[in-house]
Amino acid sequence: MDKLQAMTIFVRVVEAQSFSKAAETLSMPRSSVTTIVKNLEAHLRTPLLRRSTRSLSLTEAGARYFASCQVVLAEVANAESQLSATADAPRGRVRVDMPGVIGRSIVLPRLHEFETRYPDIELVLGLSDRPSDLIYEGIDCAIRTGALSDSTLIARRLGQLAWLTCASPRYLKRYGEPDSVASLDAHKVINYLSNASGRPVEWRFSMDGKDVAMTMRSRFSVNETEAYVQCGLEGLGLIQLSEFAVSPYLRSGRLKEVLVDARCTPVPVSIVYPQARVTVAIRAFVDWIVEIATADLAQ
């Protein structure tokens, strides 16, 4: 048995939560992936996975072995990457996914700095509001906002992001400014559609010291940040989104924040990556992002 191959396949199955998805990302037949994991379990004389028709989960022994595999594979990846790069000059290709507003506000303006520091690293940047599957899509690391649910990924905190409720002067002149969350029933709002669920994202406010989430009724809904901001600028209704997305318009006066006292608690921002695939180049990018983002996202 090729133990390193078996460990790699086992980790990919766990990360993908599917034999089929793991096989696709590895460009292998599903039957081969299944057989190798079964042979690994036979070799270790213990079941690693609980299988059902709809889900996979780790046994207690499987969880311990998975953690050990991540460490081993990370060390192998690091050793291999160092053969083609010195510690001072990492090289390689890094594929990154991030929300468009963070990419445009924090990352893109400083890419010249990254290029100067790491001239041998090729960056492939995906800027999208759509949530990505790192394992299935072959993404090396991703910046995510909000609570993290995938426990198989390593996460490093970058800071937090405030969410603001805004309107254009045109809208406020016509409909007035809401003086409380309760008064929103008398106002027009624009909903933002989640790219994950296709449903409107809930609006969040702080009321009586607690964060509350509300589903708002709206005549207009969009699923892209720039289009969402444009709806607000056109005076079609109130919008609620990150401070980074609206700060230029707040400074220019094209938008005004309302319900300032009802701001919800800022959401965390993190960069996540699979430990088993970390290379020197990926680690360099992650360290750089932590360095530049911490100041911008500290509130």
Region at 253 (left for phi over 0; alpha for psi -120 to 50; beta for the rest): left
Q: Is the pLDDT of residue 225 over 60?
A: yes
Q: Which segment of 115-119, 277-281, 288-292 scores lowest on mean pLDDT?
A: 277-281
CATH topology of domain 163-262: D-Maltodextrin-Binding Protein; domain 2 (3.40.190)
Q: Is the pLDDT of residue 101 over 60?
A: yes
pLDDT of residue 88: 59
Locus of tokens 């360290």: 287
Over residues 128-157, the mean pLDDT reads 79
Q: Is the pLDDT of residue 42 over 80?
A: yes
pLDDT in tens, 55-81: 788 888 888 888 888 878 877 776 766
Tokens of 172: 């406020």
Give the CATH number of domain 3-83; options: 2.40.160.40, 2.60.40.10, 1.20.140.10, 1.10.10.10. 1.10.10.10
What residues contact residue 172 under an 8 Å CB cut-off, 6+ apart?
Answer: 256, 258
Domains 3-83 and 163-262 share a fold: no
202, 267 in Cβ contact below 8 A? Answer: no
Q: Output 153 or 193, whichever has higher pLDDT.
A: 193
pTM to 2 decimal places: 0.68
Any idea which architecture 92-156+269-297 has in CATH?
3-Layer(aba) Sandwich (3.40)
Q: Is the pLDDT of residue 255 over 90?
A: yes
Rounded to a whole number of angstroms, the CA Rg of the chain reads: 23
Phi, psi at residue 188, to the nearest 5°? -90, 140
Q: Is the pLDDT of residue 146 over 90?
A: no
**Any idea where the domains of the chain sit in the sequence?**
3-83, 92-156+269-297, 163-262
